[in-house]
Homo-oligomer: A and B are copies of this chain.
Amino acid sequence: MAQARDVSEFLIAPDPAAPGLTRAVEGTDQFGAPQTVSVVEERPLTIFLNSREIVTAMTIGDYPDYLALGFLLNQGMLRPDDTVTGVDYDEDIDTVVVRTAGETSFEDKLQKKTRTSGCAVGTVFGDMMEGLEGLTLPQAEVRTSWLYDLAARINRTPSLYLEAGAIHGTVLCRENSPLVYMEDVGRHNAVDKIAGWMFQNGEQGADKILYTTGRLTSEMVIKTALMGIPVLASRSGFTAWGVEIARDIGLTLIGRMRGQRFVCLSGDDRLLRDADPGTVADDPRKARRKGAE
């Protein structure tokens, strides 16, 4: 097993001490004694695509630009080849506006949709599924030694989760190196922030592994595939539809990673079992994500 390296090697790591992300709140414990608890912030962020209001997301509030871009990309509202001319965040009114050179195909579609049935809410998921058509994920190798390294390192990295709980984390990784570690109160925001970061930095997904603390649902699997990432791993469990989609599109899906244990329910052919599970340490007690359910 490689030694855990310094957090400074992350391109983006959580900053649990950053002002505005957590708050100390006074309460009482089971004996009635005063207790000060560190809790994560949660605020609304309304995302606009050009002049159109798209959604209000509940977010911890860091990286609103990546969140807006990633959300629009993962919903198929913005295409990777659209030219983004600006991302304007206005903290006072909790809005972020993504501007494109021309009108996007989504805006055109939404216009039509609005005229026929009145609202676009119900189409969002269908649009995400549409994005999977013709998508092929690259053949890549995933070594179990990388997965064990990644889990150990991520679990030991200072995070808002370790500070305050009640938050989800997602980490973009290459081989055994975690690169970008995002956290958010919104279940999918952490993933969307990574998609936004990849878009802004021209990063491709083919050589990446996505690690998440959340469940492997259909939406998580679809987002990972749309980001072009062939491997999705999690501490948590699966849903049947998540597994079904992963198998259809050839994504490697690994869940229930705890200490040496994991289960692979799709894309086992990418897995190279080069590590001896017997040498893997148990999860540190603090890393059991008891607060994030």
Interface residues, chain A, with chain B CB atoms under 8 Å away: 22-23, 25-32, 35, 37, 39-44, 46, 52-56, 58, 110-111, 114, 117-122, 124-126, 144, 164-166, 168, 185, 187, 213-219, 235-243, 256, 258, 260-266, 268, 271, 273, 277, 288-293
Contacts and interface: CB of A to CB of B under 8 A. Distances in A.
Given A31-B277, A114-B114, A273-B31, A239 B55 contact: no
Contacts of A28: 263-264, 268, 271
A243 B144 contact: no
A119 B117 CA distance: 11
Q: How many copies, total?
A: 2
A266 B120 CA distance: 37
A42 B165 contact: no
A143 B22 CA distance: 30
- Which of A25, A111, A187, A218 has the most CB atoms of chain B within a 10 A radius of its CB? A25
A220 to B, nearest CB: 11
A115 B93 CA distance: 23
A29 B119 contact: no
A30 B122 contact: no
A114 B118 contact: yes
Dominant SS among interface residues on chain A: mixed
Nearest to A161: B237
A260 to B, nearest CB: 6
A119 B292 contact: no
Most chain B C-beta atoms within 10 Å of own C-beta, residue among A37, A243, A291, A292: A291
Nearest to A52: B118
B125 A56 contact: yes
A121 B256 CA distance: 34
Contacts of A54: 119, 121-122
Contacts of A55: 121-122
Given A114-B119, A185-B217, A261 B29 contact: yes
Given A53-B121, A54-B121, 20 more contacts: A25-B243, A26-B265, A32-B273, A37-B238, A39-B238, A39-B265, A41-B240, A42-B242, A52-B117, A53-B122, A55-B121, A55-B122, A111-B118, A114-B114, A114-B118, A164-B237, A165-B256, A185-B215, A236-B291, A237-B292
Most buried by B among A121, A125, A240, A263: A240
9 contacts: A23-B240, A29-B262, A41-B241, A55-B121, A165-B237, A185-B215, A187-B187, A288-B288, A289-B290
A280 to B, nearest CB: 8
A263 B27 contact: yes
A55 B42 CA distance: 23
